[in-house]
Structures are given as C-alpha cells and as structure tokens.
Chain A
Amino acid sequence: MADEQGRHPSRRAFLTSAAALGAGAGLAGAARANGPDPLITEVQDWARGFGEGVDATPYGLPIRFEHDVIRRNVEWLTADTISSINFTPIHALDGTITPQGCAFERHHSGAIELAKPDYRLMVNGLVDKPLVFTYADLERFPRENHVYFCECAANSGMEWAGAQLNGAQFTHGMIHNMEYTGVPLRALLQEAGLGPAGDLSDKWVFVEGADASSNGRSIPMEKALDDVLVAFKANGEALRKEHGYPVRLVVPGWEGNMWVKWLRRIEVMDGPVESREETSKYTDVLADGTARKWTWVMDAKSVITSPSPQSPITHGPGPLVITGLAWSGHGAIRRVDVSTDGGISWQTARLSREGESKALSRFYLDIDWDGSEMLLQSRAMDDTGYVQPTKDQLREVRGLNSVYHNNGIQTWHVKTSGEAENVEVS
C-alpha cells in the first residue's frame, strides 16, 4: 500500500493521467469523491508494526520515493563525463540550502579521491616564508561560517541563442548554496607573511587544485584579502569528494570556476597568470569578436522553480504557490518581482527571509490560479539597485556568443493542463 500511495508521478506519467482525468480534476480530490478514505478508516501497516531500528542506517539517503530528486547530466553538452557538468534538481528543492548529495558537479579531470593524510597546501611566491600546511594544520586557524551560492559561469549558457532545455534543473541548475566552515584566505597569507609584496593592492594570488586539470585561476589581492574562504566543511560535514574533499576555495559572489577544489597551492604574484581557465575559457566573446576577460562577479539572477517544466501544476485551479530562487554576486537580494503575463505587469513576491549577501534567497508568490495559461517570469533586484535584465537586453550588449554569464529573465509557459514549458517571449 505504501508503494502505491508514495509514488511520485513522473512527468510522463503526469501527462497521461492529466489527460485521463481532464483539466481541473485534481489528484487530491479522489478521496472526497469516493467516500471515507481507507488511508484513514483502515489501520495501516505503519500504524500497527515496527519501522526500522536506529542501527539500520548509520548514514542515511533520502527515502526511496524521492529518487527522482537527483543530479542529472546532459550527454551531448560535453565530449565525455570527466570534463563535464551535471545539474542540481532545483525544481524539486525548497528553502535555500542545497543538499550536498544532489548539489551539482563540474570537473575538468574528474572527481579525485584525496585523503586528509595525503593533503598538502602550499603558500608561496611573494611571501616572507613559503609554507606547507597539512589538513590538521588548517583546522587550528580561527574559523568562520558563511552561506554562499556557487554558480557555474556557464549556468544558463545553453540558452543564449534561444529556449533549448526544458526544465529549471537544466537551465539554472549549475548552482548550489551551502553553509561553509573554513579559514579566511587572508589568515593563511598573513601566516606566510606578505612583507615582500610591498603595496598589496596591485598583487594577485594564483590558486590551483591537486587534480590533473589543476584549474588554476588568478584572483586580485583585494578579493583574496576580503571574503575568500579556504573551506573544509559544507552544510555541517566534510566536503563531498566531488566538491573538493578535503579543502576547497570559496569565492563569494564570483563565478564557480574560481572556487578551486582539492586546493593545493596559493601563490602571491605580481600579475595574473592568464591561465587556460581565464583565457581560452571563462572569457566572454562579444558581437564584434573581442572578448571580455576577468568577468568574475555573477550578476543578480532568479528563476521560478515551481511551477516549471519538471514541476507541473497537478492540483487544478485554486490556491497555487509560485516559488523560486534569487541571488546576486554583488550582495543581498532586496526584492523579487513575479509576472504571470510575460512581463506586461509585475507583483512583488515575498522573500522567505531577508536576503543574505551572495547567497540564495527563496521567494514565494501565493496566487489563486483560475486555470488559464500563464507566462511566468521572475525578476531579481539586489541591494546595489541592479535589476535582472531580460535576455534581449543582454543580447543587445553582448551578442549571442558570450557562452557565460547568462542571467536573463526566464519565462515558463504554463498551459491550462498545468504543464509548463521553457519559452522565450517577445
């Protein structure tokens, strides 16, 4: 019985059942129509016998009924799965903290296994004394905790030329948001001594990982001394292997590529290295063929996570929760507006709590859906007053080949059936 009742309909199953029931026939309405509900009037197995003992699952996974809340890959995006990307199931999550087990991955030479005893972190270059730290050393520095989003520079990149992938997970899921515990990068630099660097304002740090790709990136000293963290815990526990275990860089508000995983070396330098990841990649081609480099900050952005193509309306007309995520690399989200008519008119949604700097915010707009078609959009505003642009506004400045940094407004076409589709509107 639990098997039957607990199942979530797949999208395909939904389409079939919605057609069978006809528009407006809510699944939840069935009990009312058929008299007393046996789930209430009959004693269920779980109300009679035992559940699992406390030793059954020393470290648990989600209940099996949530098996579709998983990372997904889009095979055709990359040549193989080693230097590739997968996507967080944001369409199915709520609140702001991303469960680590389904938080997206992006590797350039795979997720390596690096044990704490084998871990070494080197700080060298223009410092008084080049240093080597063990993992245990890092845990002896004063710690901080902060919640930040990590968004891949390429999030929504496939949508530059038009609506392509049908689901918030695929269009906006190269993102996660975690509470990090770590040591400010500043503390490690001070430990090595910044004396010989002289005037620090024009210095840079080069950071790289222990994996074969190394993922080296250059960061200006001002940012390095500001809020960059050398993190070893996320959401309360050690980093996951695929997220950089045992140590990663956290670069608040800046493109995910710079959040170097399996961090092994920090070098203070006179100038940027201009590594592969900041020349060939993570540079943004403009319409005239020139390219922007060092586009570090992720601008204000939002997306409605439900309803959305993977999260259709299944309950028919009436009360409907429209919800989504908003974030900005410049600071806190101050406001999110939602449109149900493709941007003709807007209403200000409710933030579930005051926006936090460089972290995901959750918004809600509770409406009474009359069952008619909607063109849903959300529009974020951050505390610098920046308003999330439309895709056309972005294209007007940048053209179609920037690849990265697409923070344009997303539109979902909600049909009378409750099904939703990724579209673009005039």
Chain B
Amino acid sequence: GESATFGIGREALPEELAAWDLDVSPDGTGLPEGSGDVATGEELFVERCAACHGDFAEGVGNWPALAGGEGTLADEDPVKTVGSYWPYLSTAWDYVHRSMPFGNAQTLTADETYAITAYILYSNWIVEEDFTLSRDTFDEVEMPNADGFIVDDRPETEYAKWRAEPCMEACKDGVEIIRRATSLNVTPEDDFDVN
C-alpha cells in the first residue's frame, strides 16, 4: 500500500486461513475437493434438515421452503426458493456448509454438503436423480433464475424523478382514508401493568 503502516497485527497462518476463509464465489472459486450424490443427500437431508425444511425441501410451518415456487415471482405472493429464486449454486453450497443446520452449524463435511446440495437441486427438478455434485460437475448446473437480477437502478428509475421541489399548497383535491391498521388487528397488545 501507499500509506504508512503501523506494524500492528501478525501474519495469518495457512491453517488459520483455511479454517475461516470458506466462502464460495459464483464461478466455484473456494469449493473444496469432494462430491456427493442425490441419494446420499436425501438420506442426510431426512436426518439433518427435514424436521424444519420437510422431506421434500418443501418447508414445515413457518420454516423456509427450499423447493417449489417455479414461475411465481411476478405473482401476488411470490414463493422464493433455491429453485425459483436463487441465482447461483455457489450460494447454496456456501450457506449450507457454513450456517446450517440451524443451531448446529459447521458440522457438515464437504462431501455431506455436496450431497445435500445435490438433493436440494433434485427437489427443485434442476438435476436428475442420479446426479453427483462435485467441483467438476458444478458448472453443469443451470439455476433457473440466474438472469433474474438487475443491479440497483434507483438512480435512473427513482432519484431522477424525485429530486424536485415538492408541492406545498393544494397538492390534491381531497383525501380519504383507504386502509386502517386496526382492521387487521395484528399488533402486539401489551397490557402494561406499569411498575
């Protein structure tokens, strides 16, 4: 760097980097050696994941569905899952490996993560039943919503319009209440027994 340094801190060791630098990028950079197939993934999923996410990754109760929802993104209530919404396979591998199962994270080996990810793909009908996921087959997987994202375009679509001197008087002809929160009655009521 161009600026002076302070000589604070010490060099990170290779083992330390390997332990913490786990992120996987969309092009697969960061994926470790290993592999896992759909059938192995199904067994692991039933054992480690299905209590919350369902046997078919369809979600249980309020817990997230990982499969389904294809073609619903423009609907009134879009169903956003790995199959219907996630743009990159890397994210699924990375997130499962680092942060799942919920409450017992970082307990899945690389092979187990490959297998579970393969099963999630199968649950979304993205791969065949005999598919084996590895670094080598990673590029073969096509995520349905890979092209579904645009970079923040507020500067063009919003800021250009809304950076204008606002109306102060007679801004509209009349005003009418069209929705009321109390008609839903979903706000927590605390019955304070103060002090």
What is A's interface to B at a CB cutoff of 8 Å? 3, 6-8, 10, 12, 64-65, 67-68, 72-76, 78-79, 82-83, 108-109, 122-125, 128-133, 137, 140-141, 162-167, 170, 187, 189-195, 206, 208, 212-214, 216, 264-265, 267, 269, 271, 273-276, 279-280, 283, 285, 287-297, 299, 309, 337, 341-347, 375, 379, 381, 384-387, 389, 393, 397, 400-401, 413, 421-426
CB distance from B168 to the nearest CB of A (A): 5
Query: A7-B194, A124-B12 given. 18 additional CB < 8 A pairs?
Result: A12-B191, A67-B192, A74-B187, A74-B188, A82-B103, A132-B9, A133-B9, A140-B8, A141-B8, A191-B5, A271-B25, A276-B91, A297-B152, A343-B175, A387-B166, A421-B182, A423-B181, A425-B178
Residues of B within 8 A of A293 (CB): 149-152
**B-chain residues with CB within 8 Å of residue A208 when the two chains form the complex:** 23
Minimal beta-carbon separation of B123 from chain A (angstroms): 16
Which B residues have a C-beta under 8 Å from some C-beta of A? 1-3, 5-6, 8-12, 16-17, 20-21, 23-26, 61-63, 73-74, 76-78, 80, 82, 85-88, 90-91, 94-95, 98-99, 102-103, 105-106, 148-154, 157-159, 162-164, 166-172, 174-182, 184, 186-192, 194-195
10 A–B contacts from the bound complex (CB under 8 Å): A78-B62, A122-B17, A123-B9, A190-B2, A194-B1, A269-B25, A283-B149, A299-B158, A401-B77, A422-B181
Q: Are A190 and B1 in touch, CB under 8 angstroms?
A: yes
Main secondary structure of the interface of B (DSSP, over half): loop
Contact: B164 with A387, CB < 8 Å?
yes
A292-B149, A425-B178 known; A137-B74 Cβ under 8 A: no
Whether A290 lies near B191 (C-beta < 8 A) is no
Instruction: Check if A132 sits within 8 Å of B12, measured CB to CB.
Output: yes
Q: Collect the chain A residues with CB atoms within 8 Å of residue B77's CB.
A: 401
Closest A residue, CB atoms, query B60: A79
Q: How far is the CB of A115 from chain B (nearest CB, A)?
A: 18
Could you tell me the distance in whole angstroms from the C-beta of A76 to the nearest C-beta in chain B? 7
Q: Are B176 and A165 in contact (CB under 8 A)?
A: no
Q: Which residue of B lies closest to A341 (CB)?
A: B175
Decide: B180 and A423 in contact? CB cutoff 8 A. yes
Pair B171/A344 contact, Cβ less than 8 Å? yes
Contact A275 B95 (CB under 8 A): yes
Q: Do the beta carbons of A124 and B188 come within 8 Å of each other?
A: no
Contacts of B171 in A (CB 8 A): 343-346
Whole-angstrom distance between the Cβ of A308 and the nearest chain B Cβ: 11
Contacts of B187 in A (CB 8 A): 74, 165-167, 170, 309
* Complexed CA–CA distance, A422 and B158 (Å): 26
Instruction: Specify the chain B residue showing the minimal Cβ separation from A343.
Output: B171
Please give the distance in Å from A300's CB to the nearest CB on chain B: 9
Find out whether the CB atom of B175 lies under 8 angstroms from the CB atom of A212: no
Complex A-B, nearest 9 residue pairs according to Cβ-Cβ distance, in ascending order: A289-B74, A289-B73, A342-B175, A79-B62, A422-B181, A212-B105, A130-B12, A131-B9, A276-B95
Rounded to whole angstroms, the CA-CA distance of A12 and B192 in the bound complex is 9
A167, A279, A287, A297, most chain B CB atoms within 10 A? A279
Q: Quick check: A124 and B17 within 8 Å, CB to CB?
A: yes
Query: Distance (Å) between the CB of A285 and the closest chain B CB?
Result: 6
Chain A: minimal CB distance from B146 (Å):
11
CB-CB under 8 A for A267 and B23, given A65-B195, A83-B102: yes
Q: Complex Cα distance A414/B23, Å? A: 51
CA distance A382 to B180 in the complex (A): 29
Residue of B whose beta carbon sits closest to that of A110: B103
A344 to B162, CA, bound (A): 18
Q: Which residue of A195, A292, A421 contacts B151 across the interface (Cβ within 8 Å)?
A: A292
A290 to B178 alpha-carbon distance, docked (Å): 29
Interface centre among B9, B94, B187 (most CB of A within 10 A): B9
* Residue in B11, B80, B169, B195 whose beta carbon sits within 8 Å of that of A64 in the complex: B195
* Bound CA–CA A422/B11 (angstroms): 55
- Whether A212 contacts B177 by the Cβ 8 Å rule is no
